[in-house]
A and B are shown apart, each in its own frame.
Chain A
Amino acid sequence: MTTTKTFNQRDLIFKKGIALNAIGIVVLLAVIFVTILFSSRESISEFGLGFVFSQNWDPIGLNFGALPFIVGTMLTSILALLISLPFSLAIALLLGEYSPKGKFTGFVRSMIELMAGVPSVIFGFWGLYYLVPHIRNLQMALGILPYGVGIFASSVILAIMIIPYSSSVAREVITMVPRSLKEAAYSLGSTRFEVITKVVLPYARSGIIAGILLSLGRAIGETMAVTMLIGNNNEIPKDIFAPANTMASVIANEFAEAQAGLHMSSLFEIGLLLFIISIVINLIGRLVIHSINKSGGK
């Protein structure tokens, strides 16, 4: 009798303990948000909403605005998505539809998952020394100022970095497509290509979009590789080859030596904007996945 009682007590303590931990993490997220908000108050009260639309970034005249960084972040991330999309779709179709089982599939899958674990500084390094010279040759052939580094170089590297994320979500929803639907299509005389384009992809569409949104969240926050490749020019880029800057990399660049006051506070406000944008994108991605799970994939 007593043993059961202590067992129950222990069980209760354990349950409360893990609940407390989980709640603690949620509280921590809120605390992070509030501290960043608090640290950016000086910049918010000085520039107001104009901060988001201003192109100034003058640490000496103490005049700051986030527009070039917001544009740089969105441009690199969206371009990266466009570049990665055909590759991640191909991977997802191969692993989800053509050969969902077997040694070869397992090998390719684990290799791609491994890619997600490669530290971003390595991607940046590789990009700077091997990718950038090629981009420079391309720019010379096109007659553009051959910087090499810039939006395009960052987007290519970001595309490589997000492939594991978007392809794994896409693969999962593709395997969820009911066999009965595909068999019905085959029995009506469809070719495999028709089954994929008319049944599998439309069925998995929302899941694929969710994967894209999640990888967008990843691309937006990427700091190290982008800082090494984007050219760190605090201006709105004129074309996709131009050197620019992103929200994450301007913070990484200037935080260490920023002067207390408006400069520091403006960097915090950029952090705040980045925080909000990535949370919103992640939330949308999650909502889409949630609605798929609920409706069983449709």
Chain B
Amino acid sequence: MKKMITTAFATIALAAATTFGQTEILGAGATFPYPLYSKMFSVYESLYKTKVNYQSIGSGGGIQQITAKTVDFGATDAFLGDKEEAAMGAKSVHIPTCLGAVVLAYNLPGNPAIKLTPALIADIYLGKITKWNDAKIGAVNKGVKLPGINVVVVRRSDGSGTTSIFTDYLSKVSTEWKDKVGAGKSVEWPTGIGAKGNEGVAGNIKNMPGAIGYTELAYAKKNNMPQALIQNKAGKFIAPSLKSASLAAKSLPLNCKVNLTNTEVADGYPIAGLTWLVIYQDQNYGGRTQAQGAEVVKMIKWMITDGQKYTTPLDYAPLPKNAQVQAFKNLATVKFNGVQLMK
């Protein structure tokens, strides 16, 4: 049903685009990078007179749309699984565009700076630590005066890429979490209250003394909420920032399909993730022209090069140099009848 509706919308948009004769690129998917993409696409249109029509319908919808070949690119916060790739019917490539960091924000009297270890985060979200003055929290935060109030766990109630990154992290650092709950966009939470959207989580934390919740870095910053330092795999306590998140993408595999959580990079922030664009490797499908394919590749190339300067002001972490190189290599494999499209 949802698919039908979105397909109908995309078809109408496509028809409108061809009627006016102007080059238009169609995309759909993830909501998380939407503010960045709309900024990038409006700048791109003013530079190259190519309009990019992006519908932020959610990652799942983006994958459905590119699979149905109704858009030029799909955007997703979680890379495609084998099943989803097979459903696309032809080879596709993943191009990372930026990173997001997920922070643990909290509300405590006086808002002291606190540190959390992976084990503490897992215990809090498993409902095993219920008071802020629990000895386990105290052991990591020596000298911090922790109140004896209840820990109120806040999490997302709507399916989201943020939840996917956070639960993927928990599954990596806690076998108990992995066995009991697992990772995904919506999970069966053992405890806490759910709020809709990043803004819902942020709002609940702000209003509730003793609350802790995960949210995108940008929302925690905007709401001036204290964010916990998190111990990474190397044992260092890392403050969430665009820089420490970027570091997590220091080494990417060839296909760029990787979860960056629990990074091994010594100064990398452990709860970060990439967001991707997905396009077909052979752009000659469904009666497309070579020019259209070339436009799509040109636009994506701009996003991972010049376009990167729009990431930091909007609180997205830019691709580090080598990730950019890797994204470039991937984009270079995109062809039309065997002709490389990237110039």
Chain A interface residues toward B at CB < 8 A: 35, 39, 56-61, 128-129, 132-133, 136, 145-150, 227-228, 231-234, 243, 245, 249, 252-260, 263-264, 268
Chain B residues contacting A148 (CB-CB under 8 Å) are 207-208
Evaluate contact between B186 and A136: CB separation under 8 angstroms: no
B203 sits at the interface (CB 8 A)? yes
Report yes or no: A128 in contact with B207, Cβ–Cβ below 8 A: yes
Q: How far is the CA of A259 from the CA of B60 in the complex (A)?
A: 7
A257 near B58 with CB under 8 A, answer yes
Segment at the interface with A among B151-159, B291-299, B335-343: B151-159
Q: Which residues of A have CB within 8 Å of B181? A: 60
Check A61 against B59 for contact (C-beta < 8 Å): no
Over the window 170-185 of chain B, the binary record of Cβ atoms lying under 8 Å from chain A Cβ atoms (1 yes, 0 no) is 0000000000011111
Q: How far is the CB of B210 from chain A (nearest CB, A)?
A: 8
- Nearest Cβ in chain A — how far from B133, in angstroms? 16
B196-212 CB contacts (< 8 Å) to partner A: 196, 200, 203-204, 207-208, 210
Smallest CB separation, B62 vs chain A (Å): 10
| C-alpha spacing A59/B189, complex, angstroms | 11
Q: Is the CB of A57 within 8 A of B188?
A: yes
In the assembled complex, the Cα of A146 lies from the Cα of B182 at a distance in Å of 28
Known: A59-B187, A133-B207. Contact between A257 and B150, CB under 8 A? no
Given contacts A254-B158, A256-B58, A260-B3, contact A232 B194 (CB under 8 A): yes
Interface on chain B toward A: helix, strand, loop, or mixed SS? loop
Q: Do the beta carbons of A257 and B59 come within 8 Å of each other? A: yes
Interface contacts beyond A128-B207, A259-B60: sample of 15 additional A-B pairs, CB < 8 Å, sorted by A: A58-B187, A59-B184, A59-B188, A60-B188, A129-B203, A133-B207, A232-B157, A232-B193, A233-B193, A243-B193, A243-B194, A252-B158, A252-B196, A253-B196, A260-B60
Residues from chain B with a CB closer than 8 A to the CB of A56 are 188
CB < 8 Å neighbour of A129 from B2, B160, B207? B207
Checking B57, B188, B210 against A234 with a beta-carbon cut-off of 8 angstroms, the contacting residue is B188
A59 to chain B, nearest CB (A): 4
User: For A149, what are the chain B residues with a Cβ–Cβ distance below 8 Å?
Assistant: 193, 204
Q: Which residues on A sit within 8 Å (CB–CB) of B225?
A: none
Give every chain B residue within 8 A of A132 (Cβ-Cβ): 207
Give me 23 A-to-B residue pairs in the complex whose CB atoms sit less than 8 angstroms apart, sorted by A's number: A39-B1, A58-B188, A59-B188, A132-B207, A133-B207, A145-B152, A146-B152, A146-B210, A149-B193, A233-B193, A234-B189, A234-B194, A243-B194, A253-B157, A255-B2, A256-B60, A256-B158, A257-B160, A257-B186, A260-B3, A260-B60, A260-B64, A268-B1
- Residues of chain B lying within 8 A (CB to CB) of residue A133: 207
List residues of chain B with CB within 8 A of the CB of A257: 58-60, 158-160, 185-186
Which residues of B are found within 8 Å of A255, using beta-carbon distances?
Answer: 2
Query: Is B61 positioned at the interface, with any CB of A under 8 Å from its CB?
Result: yes
Q: In the bound complex, what is the Cα–Cα distance between A255 and B6 (angstroms)?
A: 13
Cα distance A149–B200 in the bound complex, in angstroms = 12
A255 CA / B158 CA spacing, docked (Å)? 8
User: Measured between C-beta atoms, what is the minimum distance from A76 to chain B in Å?
Assistant: 15
Cβ of B192 under 8 Å from chain A: yes
Closest 8 CB pairs of A and B: A257-B159, A232-B194, A232-B157, A231-B193, A60-B182, A58-B188, A59-B186, A243-B193
Are A227 and B157 touching (Cβ within 8 A)?
yes
B332 at the A interface (CB under 8 A): no
Does B195 have its Cβ within 8 Å of any Cβ on chain A?
A: yes
A35–B2 Cα distance when bound, in Å, is 12
A61 touches B182 (CB 8 A): yes
Q: In the bound complex, how far is the Cα of B185 from the Cα of A253, in angstroms?
A: 11
Q: With contacts A39-B1, A232-B193 known, is A60 near B158, CB below 8 A?
A: no
| Residues of chain A contacted by B152 (CB below 8 angstroms) | 145-147
